[in-house]
């Protein structure tokens, strides 16, 4: 089966779970900006975990030449097939020759399209995930984003395609992406280098998502916080790490972050909240709250067990 890109939208690329564990070799982690939406898209499309899919900003349009099953997820995603609106967050059979249009209503948020089957895209360093800066992954294996006219080949799963059983995630169980008033943060390596006043300022201030956001990191504007240290050696950066450069404006590091960084880190966004933050758009207001490691661990276990339970109920 061939999927032709008719309109790439503002920015679209092929992603999968990324190059987890390869930072030690100099490669960025990569992967989906919103791993929750990505995981749900593949689950609803009857794919295995880690199957490639499309991450898109703006309205994207594709055409398929065979019948297939798809699923679209993200922050307030919209989907239509041949101009007919379809509810997202569910399995959907698409007839041969149909035109799929999808994207997020909120410009800047990410939508995910999963197509049931085996994607025929090259892997580099164990992943098909596109990283433009490193010229890795994507449709050509060289880090190219999708463009109009591109053609992706997927070997459709005929056993699933012929089944009448579809999957749906109820609306009330979809992540609440609009709730940004309490983004949880675990204190970081250099937390003790920030004064009590600086920590209090960070936790009680409202920050605005700036226009300087991309897959590497999100820069925020608001009350300045500075560390009581002048120099530090560069060290590994975790997903969600909050670096504070000299101007005191925090930067949350995202999927395509560099492997090393030399700014002091106030903390790290909880894995339970990083997906919501990754879907934020310029101008939105964010508040951060601190929690300890044990609280973060419990939250993570509860979230992952809830997802497994929901998937078991949907099967």
Give pLDDT tens digits along the chain (315 positions): 999 999 999 999 999 999 999 999 999 999 999 999 999 999 999 999 999 999 999 999 999 999 999 999 999 999 999 999 999 999 999 999 999 999 998 889 999 999 999 999 999 999 999 999 999 999 999 999 999 999 999 997 766 766 678 999 998 889 888 888 899 999 988 999 999 999 999 999 999 999 999 999 999 999 999 999 877 889 999 999 999 999 999 999 999 999 999 999 999 999 999 999 999 999 999 999 999 999 999 999 999 999 999 998 887
Residue 78 burial by Cβ neighbours in a 10 Å radius (0-12, 13-18, 19+):
middle
Residue 95 phi/psi, 5-degree rounding, is: -75, 160
- What is the predicted pLDDT for the residue at 39? 97
8 A C-beta contact, residue 139 and residue 52: no
Which domains are delineated in the chain?
A: 2-173 (no CATH), 183-311 (2.40.100.10)
pLDDT at 29: 95
Angle between the N-to-C axes of helices 293-314 and 35-44, in degrees from 0 to 180, rounded to the nearest 10 = 20
Question: What pLDDT shows up at residue 231?
Answer: 77
Q: 33 and 110 in contact (C-beta within 8 Å)?
A: yes
| H or E stretch at 236 | strand 235-236
Are residues 190 and 264 in contact, defined by beta-carbon separation less than 8 angstroms?
A: yes
Q: Which two tokens stand for residue 304?
A: 């992952």
Q: Which residues contact 280 (CB under 8 A, 6 or more apart)?
A: 180, 209, 213, 218, 286
Cβ(27)–Cβ(137) under 8 Å? no
This prediction has a pTM of 0.95
* Contact partners, residue 301, CB within 8 Å, separation at least 6: none
132 token code pair: 């433009």
**3-state SS string for 71-84:** EEEECCEEEEECCE
């Amino acid at each position: 089966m061939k999927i032709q890109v008719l309109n790439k939208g503002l920015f679209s690329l092929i992603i999968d779970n990324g190059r987890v564990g390869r930072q030690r070799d100099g490669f960025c982690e990569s992967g989906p900006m919103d791993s929750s939406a990505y995981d749900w898209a593949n689950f609803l499309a009857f794919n295995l975990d880690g199957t490639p899919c499309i991450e898109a900003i703006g309205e994207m349009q594709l055409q398929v030449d065979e019948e297939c099953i798809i699923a679209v997820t993200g922050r307030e995603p919209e989907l239509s097939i041949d101009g007919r609106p379809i509810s997202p967050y569910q399995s959907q059979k698409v007839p041969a020759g149909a035109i799929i249009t999808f994207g997020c209503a909120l410009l800047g948020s990410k939508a995910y399209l999963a197509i049931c089957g085996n994607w025929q895209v090259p892997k580099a360093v164990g992943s098909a995930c596109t990283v433009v800066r490193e010229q890795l992954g994507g449709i050509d294996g060289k880090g190219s984003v999708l463009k109009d006219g591109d053609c992706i080949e997927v070997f459709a799963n005929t056993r699933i395609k012929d089944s009448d059983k579809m999957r749906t995630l109820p609306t009330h169980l979809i992540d609440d992406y609009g709730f940004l008033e309490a983004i949880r943060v675990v204190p970081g390596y250099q937390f003790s280098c920030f004064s009590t006043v600086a920590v209090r300022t960070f936790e009680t201030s409202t920050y605005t998502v700036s226009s300087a956001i991309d897959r590497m990191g999100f820069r925020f504007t608001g009350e300045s916080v500075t560390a009581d240290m002048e120099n530090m050696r560069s060290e590994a950066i975790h997903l969600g790490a909050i670096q504070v450069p000299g101007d005191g404006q925090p930067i949350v590091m995202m999927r395509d972050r560099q492997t090393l960084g030399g700014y002091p880190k106030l903390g790290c966004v909880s894995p339970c909240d990083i997906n919501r933050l990754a879907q934020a758009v310029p101008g939105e207001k964010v508040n951060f709250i601190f929690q300890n490691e044990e609280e973060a661990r419990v939250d993570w276990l509860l979230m992952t067990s809830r997802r497994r339970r929901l998937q078991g109920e949907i099967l």
